[in-house]
Amino acid sequence: MSDAFDVIVIGAGPGGYVCAIRAAQLGLKVACVEKRETLGGTCLNVGCIPSKALLQSSELFDEAQHKFADHGVGVGAVKLDLARMLARKGEVVGANVKGVEFLFRKNKVTWLKGEGSIQAPGTVSVAGKDYSAKHIVIASGSESIPLPGVEVDEKQIVTSTGGLELTAVPKHLVVIGGGYIGLELGSVWRRLGAEVTVVEFLDRLVPSMDLEVGKAFERILAKQGIKTKLKTKVMGATKSKKGVTLTLEAAAGGAAEELTADVVLVAIGRRPYVAGLGLDKAGVALDERGRIKVDGHYATNVPGIYAIGDVITGPMLAHKAEEEGVALAEMLAGQKPHVNYGAIPGVVYTWPEVASVGETEEQLKARGAAYKVGKFPFTANGRARAMGDMDGFVKILADKATDKVLGAHIIGPDAGTLIAEMALAMEFGASAEDVARTCHAHPSLNEAVKEAALAVDGRALHI
Nearest to 160 by CA among 85, 258, 263, 83: 263
Query: CB 74 → ligand FAD: shortest distance, Å?
Result: 34
By CB under 6 A, tell whether 13 contacts ligand FAD. Answer: yes
Q: Which of ligand FAD, ligand NAI, none lies near 139, with the C-beta cut-off 5 to 8 A by kind?
A: ligand FAD
Q: Residues 50, 75, 223, CA angle at the centre, nearest 5°? A: 60
Triad 56, 426, 321: Cα angle to 5°: 55
Nearer to ligand FAD, 33 or 169 (CB): 33
Q: What does the alpha-carbon distance between residue 291 and residue 288 come to, in Å, rounded to a whole number? A: 7
The phi, psi pair for 174, rounded to 5°, reads -105, 125
Sequence-ordered alpha helix ranges (H) in 47-158: 48-66, 82-107
In 10 A of CB 221, how many CB atoms?
22
Q: Are 249 and 233 in contact (CB under 8 A)?
A: yes
Residues 349-368 that bind ligand FAD (CB under 6 A): 349
The runs of H, that is alpha helices, within 198-332 are: 211-223, 279-282, 318-332
Q: Which is nearer to ligand FAD, 248 or 311 (CB)?
A: 311
Of 66, 71, 338, 442, catalytic: 442
Distance separating alpha carbons of residues 463 and 459, to the nearest angstrom: 9
Closest residue by beta carbon to ligand NAI: 179
319 binds, among ligand NAI, ligand FAD, none (CB under 5 to 8 A by kind): ligand FAD
Contact status, residue 144 vs residue 270, Cβ threshold 8 Å: yes
**Can you tell me the distance from the alpha carbon of 319 to that of 253, in angstroms, rounded to the nearest whole number?**
39
Which of 152/453 has CB closer to ligand FAD? 152
CB of 249 to ligand NAI, least distance (A): 10
Sign of the alpha-carbon torsion through 87, 92, 93, 94: positive
CB closer to ligand NAI out of 251 and 390: 251
| Known catalytic residue at 71 | no
Question: What character string, x for contact with ligand FAD (CB under 6 A) and - otherwise, covers 313-342?
Answer: ---xxxx-x---------------------
Q: Of 109 and 266, which CB lies nearer to ligand NAI in the complex structure?
A: 266
Q: Which is nearer to ligand FAD, 349 or 378 (CB)?
A: 349
Chain positions contacting ligand NAI, by CB under 6 A: 147, 176-182, 184, 199-202, 207, 233-234, 267-270, 315-317, 347-349
CA-closest candidate to residue 311, choices 341, 275, 346 = 275
Instruction: Specify the 3-state DSSP secondary structure of 167.
Output: coil
Chain residues 251-310 in contact with ligand FAD, contact rule CB under 6 A: 273, 276-277, 309-310
Tell which residue, 395, 376, 381, has the closest CA to residue 441.
381
Question: Choosing among ligand NAI, ligand FAD, none, which partner's interface includes residue 42 (Cβ < 5 to 8 Å by kind)?
Answer: ligand FAD
Binding-site partner at residue 5 among ligand FAD, ligand NAI, none, CB < 5 to 8 Å by type: none
Task: Provide, rounded to whole angstroms, the least separation between the CB of residue 356 and ligand NAI.
Answer: 11
Q: Is residue 201 near ligand FAD by the rule CB under 6 A?
A: no
- 125 vs 228, beta carbon nearer ligand FAD: 125
Task: Enumerate the H helices of 390-431 as residue ranges.
Answer: 415-427
Which residue type does 250 have?
Answer: A
In the shown chain, the binding pattern of residues 28 to 67 toward ligand FAD, with x for contact by CB under 6 A and - for none, equals -----xxxx----xxx---xx--x----------------
SS3 call for 162: helix
Residues near ligand FAD (CB under 6 A) are: 10-16, 33-36, 41-43, 47-48, 51, 115-116, 139-142, 160, 181, 273, 276-277, 309-310, 316-319, 321, 349
The residues carrying an active-site annotation are 442
